[in-house]
Structure 1
Amino acid sequence: MTSYRSTIRRAALAPAALCAALVLGGCAGQSGGSAGHTAHDGASPSTGASPSTGASPSAAASSAGSAHNAADVSFARDMIPHHRQAVEMADLAVTRASSAEVRKLASEISKAQDPEIRTLSGWLTAWGEQVPARGAGHHSGHTMPGMMDEGDMSALEKSSGPAFDTAFLKLMTAHHEGAVAMAGTEVAEGAHGGAKKLARSVISSQTAEISRMRSSARG
């Protein structure tokens, strides 16, 4: 009789224990789901986005670096035609220069300044400014330091061999000196981080090329 009653009590307790287990399991599932939702709403490791700003650190830095002033605009507007003329002068060296060093230098100038023209043009477009048309300020010796006038460019186009080498080195040295001066103004007065960085690169690379050209002219 006692054994029978024990069996009955165990049978009655089993459903209660099962129910308690199910309730506890449901609570644990809800707790886990809440934690997962919180992690999803927070900063994502893959993007680094902040839930308070919605922007990644890199995007914020890019936005801050886009600030520019009148000096940046002037630098871009002037350096584009200045670079275009340098590339035109360098292109003449392909068929007219007799010196391997002059041809090599001219090739390096084209490879360096063509991408810079695209970068400067992109900035002007992003700033809502007009990109100088081809030919604008192209042969004006008075608008930008170092720019060749029509007479100088015409004489260079008509020359070849050693005469071209001599003229090219002289004119390109003056042209580079003008670019370095323009870049110096940008470094001192500009606000745009990218433009100032490009200006410092112009100063470094073209100062080195000026030394090379002066050495070639003497040699």
Structure 2
Amino acid sequence: MRKSLTSALLVAAFVVSGCTGDESPAEPASSAPVIIPGKPGEQAGTGSPGPVNRDQAGEADVEYMTMMIPHHQQAKVMTDLVPGKTANEQLKAIAGRISVAQDGEVAMMKTWLSDRGKPVPGEGHAGHGGGHDHGLMPGMATEAQLADLRAASGPAFEKLFLDLMIAHHQGALTMAETQLGKGVEIKAQEMAQEVITGQSAEIERMRTMRGKL
């Protein structure tokens, strides 16, 4: 009798465990609350994090595109000077690659803004200097630096061009990295990553060439 009772209990336990084994996993715990800054003189509060729409452009995405267009346009101004200022074929090749890459990226950025109903910067916004020193955009050459570049030729031009373009590219990397940290729209993120990948390689090529001059 005792053996039969024990067997019955074991069977019952097995059935119960079998039933519970098919249960759905527990819902994951909700994410940690988000700190919401308070108004001046008020304490910060907390709230539940909302979903991020990766297809919806945010303010940082629009700002990146709007500022990167004139940034790229200035690089185009600089590369356009190269054929008439130097006989260095290696520098001409580097400048040519930069020019083609920046033209393509500017076209994509303009399309991105236009498709979302955002203002598109014109060629005169910063592509030719525009009378501003562009202190808000990292790496951009000042009017005085552009004037020096236009006045130079030969080896002096080559050195100054590389110095200015390396700094210009480093500024673009800073802007693209900021976009990756603050932006949300997936296409804008992809374009920023392409800038980082392409211009990082160009910086290394220009540094190598600058070291030989």
**TM-score, structure 2 length as denominator?**
0.70
**What does residue 117 of structure 1 align with?**
106
**What does residue 189 of structure 1 align with?**
182
Aligned equivalent of 1:180, options 170, 173, 176? 173
SS of 1:135's partner is helix
**What does residue 69 of structure 2 align with?**
80
The one-letter amino acid paired with 1:187 is L
Q: Does 1:98 align with 2:87?
A: yes
* In 2, Cα distance between equivalents of 1:98 and 1:173: 20
Q: Does 1:133 align with 2:133?
A: no
RMSD: 1.3
Alignment gaps of 5+ in structure 2: 1-52
Change (3 A) 1:113 1:208: same
Q: CA deviation at 1:189?
A: 1.2
Aligned length in residues: 156
More helix by share: 1
Alignment gaps of 5+ in structure 1: 1-63
Report the structure number with the largest CA radius of gyration.
Answer: 1
* In 2, Cα distance between equivalents of 1:65 and 1:98: 47
Q: Are 1:98 and 1:162, in contact at CA under 8 Å, matched by a contact in 2?
A: no
Q: Does 1:157 align with 2:150?
A: yes
* In 1, Cα distance between equivalents of 2:80 and 2:195: 19
**What does residue 31 of structure 1 align with?**
none
| Runs of 4+ residues over 2 Å off in structure 1 | 137-141
Q: Does 1:215 align with 2:208?
A: yes
Percent of matched pairs sharing the same residue: 39
Deviation string, structure 1 residues 107-162 (Cα, Å, up to 9, x no partner): 00011110110110111112211111222245323020011111011111111111
**What does residue 28 of structure 1 align with?**
none
Deviation string, structure 1 residues 22-58 (Cα, Å, up to 9, x no partner): xxxxxxxxxxxxxxxxxxxxxxxxxxxxxxxxxxxxx
Change (3 A) 1:65 1:119: farther
Q: Are 1:145 and 1:179, in contact at CA under 8 Å, matched by a contact in 2?
A: yes
Q: CA deviation at 1:165?
A: 0.4
**TM-score, structure 1 length as denominator?**
0.68
